[in-house]
Chain A
Amino acid sequence: MHERLSYYVKRDSALHRLNPLTKAVLALTIILITFFNIWYWTAHIALLFFIIPLCFVGRVYREYFGTLTRLILPTAGFLFIMQALFQPIGETVIYQFWVLDVTQESLAFAFLVATRIAVMISSFTLFLLTTHPSELMSDLTRRGLPGQFAYVIISTLQILPQMQAKAQTIISAQRARGLDTESTFLKRAGSLLPLVGPLVFGSLVEVEERAIAIEARGFTSTHVKTSLHDVPDTSLDKVIRWFLVALVIITLMLKIWLS
């Protein structure tokens, strides 16, 4: 059940071989450009001609299309409907629903917002699918991110599912002793109280033990840390990163200049 704790899919591809920071910059660049470029079709082009081909380059298209149908399309679809119905702009009414007007302009705006959100989630999905979290953290630590900070991020990601599982165990245990979890809302809300104590205090005790465990493994050692994973940072990576940064700067300048 907890076998897969990250989205990362282990494949061999040009995208996988890129430095994690390059991939992070790539994901952010795509998002920034879609949000700040003034041309209407930027987001659509980014999705169709960058992200989807990149999924094929990274050989994670199956996983990406899975996320697309389960998460991205429903989210974007919902946003599209909401924006189309409630955006009070435009005169050309296409469709009337109760007191709400769907205009040509609101439809166009809704389509843009939905695509932008789709690009944002897609971009992050692609990043997560092709980047191993430990590699990202060792790379960032090597670049000067404090070890404690990296630990907090990564352990939080891992510990959340553990906490959920534990909450479930406590509920089952309390239920076995006659706790009511299935009647009216108020009663059920009240019945959550006995869960809070064991979960919170249990976690505090655990924190102490975990602190001892990582301390025993030299976590606060003053040695220069080494890393198990060799995370290559090639000159190609550097070129790509500077190119992407330049693209973002140009986009932002255009945005400021033209508006």
Chain B
Amino acid sequence: MAIVNLQNVTYKYPLTDSPVLQNLNLQVNEGEFVAVVGPNGAGKSTLCYTIAGFVPHFFKGELTGTVEVAGNESSKSSLHEWVLNVGLAFQNPFNQISGAKYTVFEEIAFGLENTGVPRDEMKGRVEEGMKLTGISDLADRSPYSLSGGQQQRVALTSILVMQPKVLVLDEPTSQMDPIGTREVFGVIRTMAERGMTVILVEHKMEWIARFADRVLALHEGQIILDGKPREVLTSDLLVEKGFGISRYTSVARKAKAMGLWKNNELPVTLDEAVEGFKK
């Protein structure tokens, strides 16, 4: 049973002529970890906003087709009910800090205060969330004094503790180093295994290949590929349409053209590339 269900979704921002999403269909099952890749302007962020209810409730504009999450239709619900089911964290961590709180602990509790979670449960959830994302030692710091990567972890934790059914993440690791990225992908994977549905926009192909269940390639507002990470990320179509691909895929692709790559399948991660070249 699909928890996220988009049928023939077309969306145009106000004051623009061409639609950002065009006749888009998408079904995501409960507990599935779906990654979305695509070049700039493909509509990735708009897709995130659509699933998270900000399109059309916040951005207005023209939305046709139906957006359903957990059986509710977004155009028929109000945004403040919708955000209880769908959590959204996006790229710029600085603007995701509420500005109303003085410590990281309070910042993470902000969403729980707003939605009326009792105090004891709130504290438990915040502590557990911080432990999960590895920021327990930042609890008493001011959210503004943190680095971009730390702020992104705070932003992610703030949404995780609200325990949404569907988690929508728009480049949540853009300001993190490789170690931070790996840890956060691990956290997202754990959440998916616990039954949270994850929709993640990300450019870091190797990490997608390692952690995601399924990859969508978005181009000019349409899904042009949908499948297992390896199939999608090594597809020739991505290169034709100007997507960024993993450096290991590019190397193997060149090597294949020169007859140095013997496998049929192209690699996405370092390990796969090493294995392939050994043969």
Contacts and interface: CB of A to CB of B under 8 A. Distances in A.
11 contacts: A2-B144, A2-B145, A5-B142, A151-B100, A158-B99, A214-B110, A217-B98, A217-B110, A218-B83, A223-B115, A223-B116
Interface stretch (B101-109, B190-198, B223-231, B269-277): B101-109
Given A210-B99, A215-B54, A217-B83, A226 B141 contact: no
Contact of B95 (A1, A5, A132, A206): A206
Interface string A204-221: 001001111111111111
Contacts of B97: 213
Nearest to A213: B96
B238 interface: no
A216 B145 contact: no
A134 interface: yes
Interface stretch (B6-14, B84-92, B244-252): B84-92
Contact of B88 (A3, A132, A216): A216
Interface in B106-141: 106, 109-119, 122-123, 126, 141
Interface of A: 1-6, 132-134, 137, 147, 150-151, 154-155, 158-159, 162, 206, 209-228, 230
Q: Chain A CB within 10 Å — which of B87, B95, B117 has the most?
A: B95
B98 A226 contact: no
Interface of B: 49, 52, 54, 58, 79-80, 83-84, 87-90, 92, 95-102, 105-106, 109-119, 122-123, 126, 141-142, 144-145, 155, 158-159, 162
A155 B102 contact: no
Contacts of A213: 90, 95-98, 155
B70 to A, nearest CB: 17
A3 B113 contact: no
Given A134-B106, A209-B90, A221-B114, A155 B119 contact: no
A108 B212 CA distance: 78
Contact of A155 (B95, B99, B106, B141): B99
Contacts of B159: 216-217
Contacts of A206: 95
Interface centre among B88, B100, B159, by most chain A C-beta atoms within 10 angstroms, is B100
Nearest to A162: B144
Contacts of B52: 216
Contacts of B102: 5-6, 132-134, 158
A122 B106 CA distance: 29
Nearest to B164: A216
Contacts of B122: 226, 228
A109 to B, nearest CB: 42
Residue among B52, B83, B162 with most chain A CB within 10 A: B83
